[in-house]
Amino acid sequence: MTYHESVLLKESIDGLDIKPGGIYVDVTYGGGGHSKEILKRLKKGKLIAFDQDEDALHNKIEDERLIMVNANFRYMKNFLMYHKAIPVDGILADLGVSSHQIDDQSRGFSTRFNAELDMRMNTVGKVNAKEILAEYPAGKLMQVLGEFGELNHAGRIANAIVSERKIKKIETTDDLKNAIGKYAERGRENKFYAKVFQALRIEVNDEINALREFLKQSADVLKEGGRLVVISYHSLEDRLVKNFMKSGNEEGLVEKDFYGNEKAFFEIVTRKPISPGDDELENNKRARSAKLRIAIKK
């Protein structure tokens, strides 16, 4: 199975500052690129890797130091407790959709293929994209498209979907494009459809809530001096990560103690996010929106 080249590979692994005997967590295993590099730097340490997509299990590296968990990273703390792996020395999350998922026509992630609108990262998940398009009222569709796709005219797009589904079911990529195509700016159609698909994918997989839960748990399971390394790909994710590293909460509001001193959970290593260089972008265009942030638990 083809998975994308690991984004910001050296920068993210360097950011973990790996101790040879430490315990590390890769919560987005995918093709195993980041995990492979972590294992290279470990000796007697341990790596626990998560991926909710069963397809990723076929890429498991045969190494006795690696424990694979087929689950969403929102359940990280429970599984780390089960494996008696708390506290950990470092956690890595690459929040991007894998090339394998995008390029698999049957999964419905890509605007390039006329495929059934599925978009579940976990193939046994309960809700898929075509069900959302069939069942959500206009107001809820507008909220999803506006918040998760950051789309202008989200209300009009939602109403167009509701009008279309009264005539025929919206079940494929082309069905959806035909329903909303008139709202795509000429010459920027691909960007428009990408935003719509992003919004639906985030809703199908409950990605923002899963990220919130993961970030809160990371503060619980990291040891003092442990590192949190996160690669995000759109502003919603990056804002959550930035605020959490700054303040320990998603709003970015730094709490103060009785004496007025700021209470910081993390020391931020990356004041500005690290982005891929020109060489990486030339070889991997899907890395173009990646932002890497690193923090150390206090």
Average pLDDT over residues 71-78: 97
Give the residue carrying structure tokens 């107001």: 139
Task: Give me the pLDDT at residue 295, please.
Answer: 98
In the chain, domain spans: 9-99+210-297, 111-205
The better pLDDT of the pair 186, 110 is held by 186
**pLDDT exceeds 80 at position 10:** yes
When pLDDT is cut at 50, 70 and 90, the band that residue 106 belongs to is low
Task: Give me the pLDDT at residue 282, please.
Answer: 85
Task: Give me the pLDDT at residue 109, please.
Answer: 56
**pLDDT exceeds 70 at position 104:** no
**pLDDT exceeds 90 at position 250:** no
Which CATH number fits the domain 9-99+210-297, given the four candidates 3.40.640.10, 3.40.50.150, 3.40.50.10490, 1.50.10.10?
3.40.50.150
Task: Give me the pLDDT at residue 285, please.
Answer: 79
**pLDDT exceeds 50 at position 100:** no
Quote the CA–CA distance of 92 and 14 in Å, as a whole number: 11
Average pLDDT over residues 8-25: 97
User: Is the backbone peptide bond immediately before 20 cis, with ω within 30 degrees of 0?
Assistant: no
Task: Give me the pLDDT at residue 237, please.
Answer: 95
The better pLDDT of the pair 105, 35 is held by 35
Domain 111-205 falls under CATH 1.10.150.170: yes
Task: Give me the pLDDT at residue 5, please.
Answer: 74
Average pLDDT over residues 258-277: 86
**pLDDT exceeds 50 at position 1:** no
- The percent of residues in the chain predicted with pLDDT above 90, rounded, is 73
The better pLDDT of the pair 98, 89 is held by 89
**pLDDT exceeds 90 at position 99:** no
Average pLDDT over residues 153-181: 96
Q: Which of 101-110, 180-189, 212-221 has the highest mean pLDDT?
A: 212-221
The better pLDDT of the pair 281, 286 is held by 281
Q: What value does the mean pLDDT of the chain take?
A: 90
Quote the CA–CA distance of 187 and 199 in Å, as a whole number: 21
* CA torsion, ordered 32, 104, 231, 93, to nearest 10 deg: -50
Is residue 169 left, alpha or beta, with left meaning phi > 0 and alpha meaning psi from -120 to 50? Answer: beta
**pLDDT exceeds 70 at position 90:** yes
